[in-house]
Amino acid sequence: MLPVGQTPRRIARMASRAGDSVVLAIAALIFVAQQVAISSLGTDGSSGIFRQVLFFTTTVALALLALKLRRYWGAWLVALGILLNLVPMAAHRGSMPIDYAVIERSGAFPEVTRDDIGRQTNHGKDIVLERDDIHFFALSDRYVITLPVYGPNIYSLGDFVLFAGLGAVVTQAAAMAVVSGRRAAQSGEATASR
């Protein structure tokens, strides 16, 4: 027997939201594991191969998890942003290419010098290259943005699409919670008036 005022559809929506939380938690864990691996594993030898396999499998898993939340239209943008970042990174063995001239012009990373060309930056996902050595330059980290508190950083087109998707998911989830709350209040009023 269902609790008073509970319809099967409403219970299904509540279960779906609980499932969404699990999907988001799994995605967050995968993302953290991916970032730790990228930062701590070398790019050469067996650790480099393991890094590449780990990066590509976790990236595909993150895109699929984003699509699991496909009822949020922003999830489609998150998946697209992930895939846009995957293209140049796949062409550069799991590292996001960044043009040394962009780094130099940005002033964001003064510790990176011309001697770093061909190396990872700050044990991160980026690899410093000359413009002519970058495949899919339009999708590489090349847009310098200075954010309040965070400061200057260099982003890719995929990053912007991904951030827009995250914002859209949060906005849609908040709107859905408001609508759901209103429906619950209206349902409660209708049940009380019977």
Phi, psi values for residue 50, rounded to 5°? -60, -40
Q: What confidence tens digit (pLDDT) does each residue in 143-167 have? A: 999 989 888 889 999 999 999 998 9
The DSSP letter of residue 65 is H
Rounded (10°) angle between helices 73-91 and 45-68 = 160
Q: What is the pLDDT of residues 100-144, one digit of tens each?
A: 999 999 988 889 999 999 988 766 778 999 999 999 999 999 999
Nearest alpha-carbon partner for 160 in 172, 147, 149, 173: 147
Q: Kindly report, residue by residue over 26-50, the tens digit of the pLDDT.
A: 888 888 888 787 777 777 788 888 8
